[in-house]
Homo-oligomer: A and B are copies of this chain.
Amino acid sequence: MSSQPPPNETGTRSSLQYAQSLDSADPLRHLREEFIIPSKADIKRRTATKDAATKNDEAEPCTYLCGNSLGLQPKRVSEYVQRYLRVWGSKGVFGHFTELEDQLTSPWLDIGDDPKVPLSKIVGAQSSEVAVMASLTANLHLLMASFYRPTKERYKIILERKAFPSDHACYAVESQILHHNLSIDDAMIFLDPTESRNHYLPTSQILSLIDAHASSTALLLLPGVQFYSGQFFDIPTITSYAQARGITVGWDLAHATGNVPLKLHDWNVDFAAWCHYKYMNAGPGAIAGLFVHSRHGSKTDPTAADFVPRLAGWWGSDKSSRFRMENRFVPIEGAAGWQLSNPSAIDATAVIASLSVFEMTSIEALRERSLKLTGYLEDLLNSLSWDGRSKPFEIITPKNAGERGAQLSVHLEDGLLEPVLEYLEEECAVVDERRPSVIRVAPAPLYNSFEDVWRFVQIFHAACGKAVAQT
């Protein structure tokens, strides 16, 4: 790799050498080796398969800071998936139940159980409190079918909104309310950020809104980490405050799982759901995850008053008690009691492969590393010089590291986004944009290096410089 000095900086902390020294001192630097990092040539060619030799500098890795949108591929996924294909190809239906000496996952009948232990460590749960199934929005629906049971008195759902109801969970909530023949104008209670630029939502504002609707709210459903601003909410405080007022509390952890440490069990969260394609690195649309607290999931007698009703399926039924309850559905204990169908084995295999990389460390160690990476990104961005001009961007993610995960959202001056994106793309710096003005930059805790962060900032600096000069 080239080692030209950073264009506009002179201080030690902003040199490539310093970034590389941080990498050398990083106890988790070996984890990057577990991932396929696309080269610049990979990104630029118009094919997936390799073509002839590429220019030397194009063999360099791209600068991928987009794991908040799609995580990179762990090398093991290919090995695990090929083994899965070999089991299917050589055993057919016996793959459902035959233990093999060289198996990388359980037989398919039990493959849904394999992720439970590693996943429960990541979200801070008992292993029986998590299940791997379906997709994020589907799981939100299934969980709302259980945990949103509106009554005349309590029927509202508190949620937050960025700009459009089409963002993520919003349509799901709207349709749940309509499903119960309630009015969305009356029953959907939105948390609207008072600061419209940075979208910060202080805990106090959330608690006030809970107070304002305390007696009529059935459910609070918030993201653990907000996708736009990157704000990491105070889950324990908000959860217990709402629960003390009789409100059930669920969390959409799409941007939180694998990113920030969670303690879902100890925080007494009622339920949660997440995807595995962002910080969990299991591939686009990968089979999702959910959490149901043991105080709900342990109740398996469907005739008991405290049984949590649910949309049921044969895969969630407890075979051993099938005859006990006069043929009525009796669930498996725990989150698995919400399972509907036999899970996609290829999809579960990818999740298991990816989780095995998480097993090489701990979520606490990853968080420590992540705080350093993101702090370093923030420092470098804030110390860029602009030749007397004012800084052409603002970081809208909370400055308090306890209130954010890996991601920093950068709000650009009007008109800069398109030329900046063009430059970043040309230089193979991969980030995610939210038009009209925001880029989201996320050093992934598992695979990004301090050098990645350093390179991104160089490219971004040059991109802004060029864009500003043009406008």
B39, B83, B313, B317: the one contacting A48 at CB < 8 Å is B83
Min CB gap A429→B, angstroms: 12
Closest residue to A302 on the B side, CB-wise? B178
> Is A174 interfacial (CB-CB < 8 Å)?
yes
Also in contact, A86 and B347, with CB within 8 A (given A93-B69, A172-B340): no
| A100 in the interface (beta carbon within 8 A) | yes
Write out the residue numbers on chain B whose beta carbons fall within 8 Å of the beta carbon of A134.
134-135, 138
Assuming A284-B108, A286-B344, is B314 touching A168 (CB within 8 A)? yes
- Cβ of A214 < 8 Å from any Cβ of B? no
On whether A137 and B315 interact (CB within 8 A), knowing A69-B93, A284-B344, the answer reads yes
Interface bits A3-16 vs B (CB < 8 Å: 1, else 0)? 00000000000000
State whether A172 touches B342 (Cβ < 8 A): no
- Identical subunits present: 2
The answer to whether A90 and B343 touch across the interface, beta carbons within 8 angstroms, is no
CB distance from A182 to the nearest CB of B (A): 12
Identify which of A36, A90, A141 gathers the most chain B CB atoms within 10 Å of its CB.
A90
Bound-state CA distance A432–B322 (Å) is 22
Say which one of A72-80, A198-206, A391-399, A456-464 lies at the interface with B. Answer: A72-80
Q: Which residues of B contact A96 (CB under 8 A)?
A: 70, 284
Please, which residues of chain B bring their CB within 8 A of the CB of A432?
Answer: 93
Nearest to A326 among chain B residues (CB) is B165
- B-chain residues with CB within 8 Å of residue A86 when the two chains form the complex: 48-49
CB-CB < 8 A to A329: which residues of B?
165-166, 171, 174-175
Tell me the smallest distance from the CB of A323 to a CB of chain B, in Å.
9
The segment from A19-27, A237-245, A290-298, A304-312 that touches chain B is A304-312
Question: CA–CA, A309 to B114, complex, Å?
Answer: 37
Q: Which 7 A-B pairs have the closest CB atoms?
A: A135-B341, A42-B90, A175-B312, A137-B313, A137-B340, A285-B344, A36-B89
Please name 12 further chain A to chain B contacts, defined as beta carbons within 8 Å, in addition to the given A137-B314, A171-B312, A346-B347, sorted by A numbering: A47-B100, A62-B92, A88-B283, A134-B134, A135-B340, A138-B138, A138-B313, A170-B314, A172-B340, A283-B344, A284-B345, A288-B341
